Structure 1
């Protein structure tokens, strides 16, 4: 008898809350404009193109503001919604460019100084690449310190709150995604991790892969071992117990409600 992991779960991320859809980056301006234009042209309510109807009426009074309901964006394109949620200040020009095209093509109205407003958008948060954040002197993930016993001292490496909290939040993010049937299949590194400066929550700005199984989850955990854990090395040493943590991660085996083992007869 041989045990074999035999269940693969299609990726179906929960898009009901901000942050669950991997965002585009601000330098992907053309994609952001294409998606926003598709939203403006395609969002319907009761079979009617909502924003075309609204702005046909507004064009008659030469109204220069375009108001968009954030919940409509979430329903139509969660990735675009999360991009706007996180990077609104950086993508406003892209939104305005797409809106001008929409008004010209669909409404027959031109507006040079168009302002796009996103109504009911969640409180904006400031994000920074984790690699850059941990590179700042005041935010290093670990540091050296001396411990004393009488006149004898020993220099050790210990984690900082900025290191511990963010690592914990990253692991919660990864395992929480596993529980929802989502995985990145190891297709990410520390360069793809963003940290919220207000809350220390993290986002992995890469899309989920199409499957979530034992192999893809293991690949994600190995990224933690190879790309995240090394950042904690300081003074040539890792903090106490990090060797055990790294070993545990590398030998990771997960069991959850959507994963099961099946026995096969050779």
Structure 2
């Protein structure tokens, strides 16, 4: 029975971890381009979930609602950059100013969600209404399986975009040296805006999947999810997409195992304990690389 329970919780954790990975990708994308930790990303994720709920109310279906949410949440990401971060970059402000700005933007978004949607928790429909699958005595919810499949497909698409397309080449050039990329004809501002759009869209997908899994939405839902996703991105090596995936899976599985075998009260702490231990052993994360400054 113990073995069955362990495997069952690992399966639960993998599904949850893939959703965390989608949020963590947003942190890694923005950090890779700007070397900035975007602490407004958790609230962007909550905005995506609420936008999907709003479109669901128009009776267009859950999946079309999530697709529309991706567009509007991506546009929110661009708005955050254009309104709050780009002016700071133009003034060559210290990095801590941008970091504090993202924290302020996060609070603004969360409070706006409370004003527009109310502070109470709201029901969200299930995304995939499929029967439970039983394999070898293990029960797998169709929602969990589809979360993994959808997350893997989207992460694969992101990887192809970054490694196989012209805009991906421009993103990698901007990541290495924004000034040199600009001199070579790369529109750095467009690349940054596109990166924020991708980060917002991935957060919206995660918001729809996790909201459909738990069937609940509320304005503060992005706080702890954002912190866990940040822990996942740092754990895997912030700036690395494979690292974000591995970090998300580690956080998701450890959270589910801790809730089962320790106490559900401590499920949120386990991810950060693992993060601290890994960073003590490997400060750059599992897939991170040491920064080399040429002088």
Same fold (TM over 0.5): no
- Which structure's residues are more often helix, by fraction? 2
Q: TM-score, normalised by structure 1?
A: 0.25
Which structure carries more relative contact order (alpha carbon 8 Å, separation 6+)? 2
- Which structure's residues are more often strand, by fraction? 1
Q: TM-score, normalised by structure 2?
A: 0.23
